[in-house]
Amino acid sequence: MRIATWNVNSLKARLDKVEWWLERAAPDVLLIQETKLSDADAPEMPMRMLGYEMAHHGEGRWNGVAILSRVGISDVVTNFGDGPVRDSSAGSTSTASEDDFNPFDEARMVAAVCGGVRVASLYAPNGRVVGSPFFEGKLRWFERLARWLAETQSPSEPLVLGGDYNVTPTDIDVWSPARAHGGTHVSEPEREALARLRAWGLVDTYRALQPAAGRFSWWDYRAGMFHKNEGMRIDLLYATEPVASRVIWAEIDREARKGPPTPSDHAPVVIDLDEPGKPFDAGWEGALGRIAARSRPRG
């Protein structure tokens, strides 16, 4: 079984790209973040025509998470089972004030059982500025995730938590620890939150098979950061041992970060369980060679 996660940065804007990638990589389960759609606007019929059932949890213009599966979907849980979120399509803005920011008002979690594995699509808050109410809300969201695990899940059962965690696990997951130092995505409180998830019983499946530095899943659109490979690995597939022990291959599809049309600023992260899925060239070997050649002194 092939499981992937991808922050698509608007499913409506990126629908053609998603359909292209479903054909390219043929995942059995795709966890999607930042759909920016209400549930009523989710493209269930186009996905069904491609062979995928869809579970979508959205609020309108912001956030939004989904699961696509061609191995069944059952026992769907949204928002950690805590009830509905607000509908942002009715006129609210993306810039919640510091006084009223509540990450649990936003569509950031959907889980279901697919092919005998409980999967969750997660979109952690960005945090904006270390020490701000948005940052504290981000840490509360991670605490709620940890409590959901402790109260409803077991490390001995097959589980995958995939998504945009908006945190780099370690310094090798960011292009420059020195330049990123002091900001969100690299701070100790955020990394400690990830470490607590792993201590509960989760394995970073990509890192377990891919120890090399310099391969990222997100690059800012600005200043040619993608072409310079100045990125971060913030899209993660964490799994319990019953799943992690089955992983035989892991990759980040760098080619999916390319346009036209304008791509998402994230790339899909993929794992294969038990046997290889459909082969594709993620583009890393050639890209890293070109980047290294450009960085060598000329003389």
pLDDT, tens digit, 9 for 90 and up, residues 172-181: 999 999 999 9
Residue 259 to residue 170: CA distance in whole angstroms: 29
Residue 249, classified by CB atoms within 10 Å of its CB into exposed (0-12), middle (13-18) or buried (19+), is: middle
- Angle at which helix 188-201 crosses helix 133-152, to 10 degrees, equals 0
Q: Could you identify the residue written with the tokens 């120890």?
A: 211
Domain ranges of the chain: 2-295
Tell me the backbone φ, ψ of residue 180, rounded to 5 degrees. -90, -10
Mean pLDDT, rounded, for 57-78:
97
226-263 residue pLDDT tens: 999 999 999 999 999 999 999 999 999 999 999 988 89
Mean pLDDT of the 5-17 span: 98
Please report the pLDDT score of residue 92 as a whole number: 45
Q: What is the mean pLDDT of residues 12-19?
A: 97
Provide the pLDDT for residue 265. Answer: 98
Task: With 0.85 as the threshold, say if the pTM is over it.
Answer: yes
Task: Report which of 25, 116, 122 is spatially closest to residue 75, judged by C-alpha positions.
Answer: 116
Tell me the per-residue pLDDT of 253-277, one tens digit each, with 9 for 90 and over.
999 999 988 899 999 999 999 999 9
* CA–CA distance, 29 with 70 (Å, rounded to integer): 7
What topology does CATH give the domain 2-295? Deoxyribonuclease I; Chain A (3.60.10)
